[in-house]
Every structure is written in structure tokens, then in C-alpha cells.
Structure 1
Amino acid sequence: MLTVTPLTAFNDNYIWALQTSQNHGAYVVDPGDANVVIDFLKTNQLPLLGVLITHHHHDHTGGIAQLLQHYGIDTPVYGPQIENINGVNQPVSATKSVLLKNIDLNAEIIEVPGHTLGHVAYLIDNILFCGDTLFSAGCGRLFEGTATQMQQSLALLSDLPESTKVYCTHEYTLANLAFANVVEPNNAELIRYTQQAQQLRANKKPTLPSSIGVEKAINPFLRTHTQVLQKTISEQFQQPINNSAKTFALLRKWKDNF
């Protein structure tokens, strides 16, 4: 049995801690802040078994050096091969399955360029750790990749089973939903999900995890193939649009300035 615990960091980051009933200890995903991780492990009397990194941005990698200093340089740290991240000693690229050291879990590595060129996601059982690629009701900004790359990456993720749980790294849901409701105001599932997310945040609870099925129903960046989205983008930018790629690129541009 796999348990995932959110560790809050900075203003809106989540560092995800993974534990299994078979192994004593935890993996952490994207530890931008080492102290948050050390405090959690110390409180629960757990060793650090390993680290998963999705991409090179400092709010995802800033704690690696301190964690290796604290728990030992032999601690396995997985991360995207092409990004040459300091402290990553288990570089990964797209592969069907990698057996994570010390915890006996298989992780499928999915290359998802767009936010950064080397961004990867980790699929463990039905749990997806997708960093800053797919957010609930949104997607990451295009700092290094193109709109085409991001759309292709999101298509890979949207092809996963709808029950797949989505663990991204930021609590951006309400801000993303504000935009999504402008883009598609008559989406009943989106309205319902917005109310649910607002209630969770009012109670100081995470809106995550989401699921692939939910995101396909409410996330405008996974819905650019629909006539509704294409019509909205055509009207917003006052130009005829009848394909998903152009819709996606303009939708991302709109969100950047929203």
C-alpha cells in the first residue's frame, strides 16, 4: 500500500512524501526546501529512502544538497538526464519502468517537455507525479519548450487511465479555475469542481490530488479539441480557428496575461 503525504513549502509548493507499508522510510518528490523534509522525517522517525526530481527549477531542487549532506551522499536521487541537475545520481529518461532503490516501487518515466525541456513525470501504480506540467485546471508556463511540445506532453498524460491520481507541485487550483470559468462558463463539471475546490481551501485543505478523468472534464488545456473551446478562442482573438494546436497556443497566451 502506497501512502502520499503533502508537505507544504514556500507559498504554494507541495513536497510529496511517499511511504509503503513494506518499507520503513520515505521518498520525497521535488524537495525545494530541505528543512520541511527533515522536520517531517524527524517527527515521524523515518529515514530518507530517496528523492524524485521532475525538473531543474530551484523550488523543486533547492533542498537536494542539504538532504544528501544530512542523510548521506548515497541516497538515490532520480532526475531528468538531460538537465544535469546537481545532486542527481540516478539520471532517467523515458522508459517503461525503473525500480526505485530502497523502496521496491516501479516508476514509469514519462518525458513531458514544455515547462522545461527535460521535464519528466513519474507514474507509480495509479499515481502521477507531474511537477509543473499538468496542474489542476491548468498547465505550466512555457519557459523553455514550445506550445506544441506542451500539448504533446499533456496528450501523453491525458491518455493515462482516468482513475490516475494527479499530484502536481503547486496549489494553483483556485487561480486556474478562475481562468477556466471565464474560458468555459457553462461547463457543469467545472462549476461543481470549482465549488468543491473553494470549500477545500476554505478548510485549509489541499485541492490535490486531482485525477486524469476530472482534468479531462474541467481543464481547458486538455479540452482544446472541443468546438466550445475553439469558438471561445476564435472570439477572444478575433480570428477563425478550427484546430486544437492553434487553440492551445492562444489559450496559453491568454492565460499568461490573465
Structure 2
Amino acid sequence: MASDAAGALEIVQIPVLNDNYVYLAREPGSAATAVVDPAVAAPVLEALDARGWHLTHILNTHHHPDHVGGNLELKEKTGCIIVGPRADEARIPGLDVAVGDGDRYALGGAEAQVFDVPGHTRGHIAYWFPKADALFCGDTMFAMGCGRLFEGSPAQMWSSLSKLAALPDATRIFCAHEYTMANGRFALSVEPQNAALQARMKEVERLRAADRPTVPSTLGQEKATNPFLRPDSPDLQSTIGLAGAGLVEVFARTRELKDSFRG
């Protein structure tokens, strides 16, 4: 996306490791350029060099090595500022600026709103750039999925996802992994009658057969097809044997089923 509109971002997707996505986000007016969750440094430096861009910021969502592994090398080579979660600042290498829920952070003329979204880790955050319709949500929300609950409870994760689900449907979901095919297979197992999900999986299969990314999706797509945003679905509730149950209970059982799913 390239635009001169105030608050716009040029976003470049960089596939790294086995299934990670790292993102460059550049605000054209100021040339301020961030990398989101750099797992490794070399592909980021190559992408910057290819475009003649200079890295000014790192935006970290959480502490896992496949999200912060490139922090220190990139900081050493570019002098960039590292921004990350206040709730987990001790585990973010090279952190300069700690942010948390309700904070705003400017990348040149583009401003991010920060959300605390614990569940996958205790200190996970997400960055929403409203004028660019862009959400960088790390491992909290995936295309048709959500992160495993390594350091949080189902109630925490459901609260975090609900916070993100309240954003506009046009919001693009720049999640950190290409898990969509496996996530979609699971989604069909728990909500088999969902026509929007059936249609989306056909498109996912087409994209992956062509070795193309399925990310970003949109929040509107996720609300229609992601089982972790749909614990109120009668089809899902019936399939997992929890018709009429509370949303947190349905979410928790859905997450348990995904953890053991081998389809």
C-alpha cells in the first residue's frame, strides 16, 4: 500500500523461518520505517536495502524468540528505536520505549493505538494504525485462529480477542504466521455448516497451491470465519457439545480442541 494520505503506511511482508511473517511499515511523509517482530535480521536488512529505506523503529508484540530474535543486530546496524510491551519489558531485547493499553505511538505521521492483549503471553500487545486500516497483532489473532495459551487463561484471551474484534471490519489483520490452512481445517471441524468458512477455505487452498500468502485477512473475514471469534455461533456450540453455554466456556473448549487437533 503506497499513498500520500496522512497516516498511510507502505507495508511490506517478509516471509522468514518456516512460517513467520515479518513486516516493514513505512510512513511515506516522514520516511519513518518500522519492522514488526523481526525474527531474524538478515532478511529485514535485505528488504530495506532493496528499497533504499532506513530502519528507524522496531515494534515488538511479545517476547518469543521468533519475534525478537533480530532486535539487537538490527539496533546495532541501524540505530533504530525498539518499542515493546511495558508488561513484559524485561524480556524484550534492547527495549527503548515501553508501551501498554491505551497508549498511542507515532511512526512519523502515522499513529498506532496500543492494546494489551494477554493470553498467548502475559505481556502481549497489538498495534492498530486506524488511518492505515492495519492491525499488527503478533500471535494473538491468526487468520482463522488464535495463539496457544502459554501464559494466560481462556478468559484473558477471550477478552483480548474481543477487544480486537471491536475494531472496524475493514481492518487488515497482519498476523505473524502462515497457519491459515491448518486453522481452516480445524474451523471446519467445529463449524461445518458455515458457508462463509467453506468459501474461504476454497480461496485459501487456491492461494497456497500457488505458493501465495493468505495474510493479511480482514477483521470482517475473521468475524465470519474464525471460530475463536465465534463462541456465540449455535453451530459451533452444538458441534462441540456446549449449546447455550457461556462464551468463555465455549472459547476455552474450542481452544482445547484445537490444541489436540490432528486433521
CA RMSD, Structure 1 to Structure 2 (Å): 1.3
The question of 1:243 aligning with 2:246 is answered yes
Q: Which runs of 5+ in 1 are unaligned?
A: none
Q: Deviations over 1:36-56 (max 9, x none)?
A: 101111122211021100000
CA contact (8 A) 1:233 1:241 kept: no
Query: What percent of counterpart residues are identical?
Result: 42
Q: Trace 1:1-258 onto structure 2 (pairs within 5 A).
A: 1=3, 2-24=9-31, 26-72=33-79, 75-83=80-88, 84=90, 85-100=92-107, 103-125=108-130, 126-234=133-241, 242-258=245-261
Rounded to whole Å, the distance in 2 between the matches of 1:113 and 1:172 is 20
CA contact (8 A) 1:15 1:30 kept: yes
**When the two structures are superposed, what TM-score results if normalisation uses the length of structure 2?**
0.92
Rounded to whole Å, the distance in 2 between the matches of 1:211 and 1:240 is 28
CA contact (8 A) 2:102 2:113 kept: yes
| Change over 3 Å in CA distance of 1:149–1:251 after alignment to 2 | same
Rounded to whole Å, the distance in 1 between the matches of 2:202 and 2:111 is 35
Q: Deviations over 1:29-84 (max 9, x none)?
A: 00011011011111222110211000000000000010011112xx2111001212
Rounded to whole Å, the distance in 1 between the matches of 2:200 and 2:243 is 30
Q: Which residue identity lines up with residue 109 of structure 1 in the other structure? A: V
Rounded to whole Å, the distance in 2 between the matches of 1:65 and 1:233 is 45
CA contact (8 A) 1:230 1:244 kept: no
Rounded to whole Å, the distance in 2 between the matches of 1:209 and 1:37 is 19
Q: Deviations over 1:199-243 (max 9, x none)?
A: 111112110111111101000111101221111111xxxx76522
CA contact (8 A) 2:75 2:81 kept: no
Q: Which runs of 5+ in 2 are unaligned?
A: 4-8
Offset, 1:25: 5.3
Offset, 1:23: 2.9
Offset, 1:198: 1.2
Aligned length, in residue pairs: 250
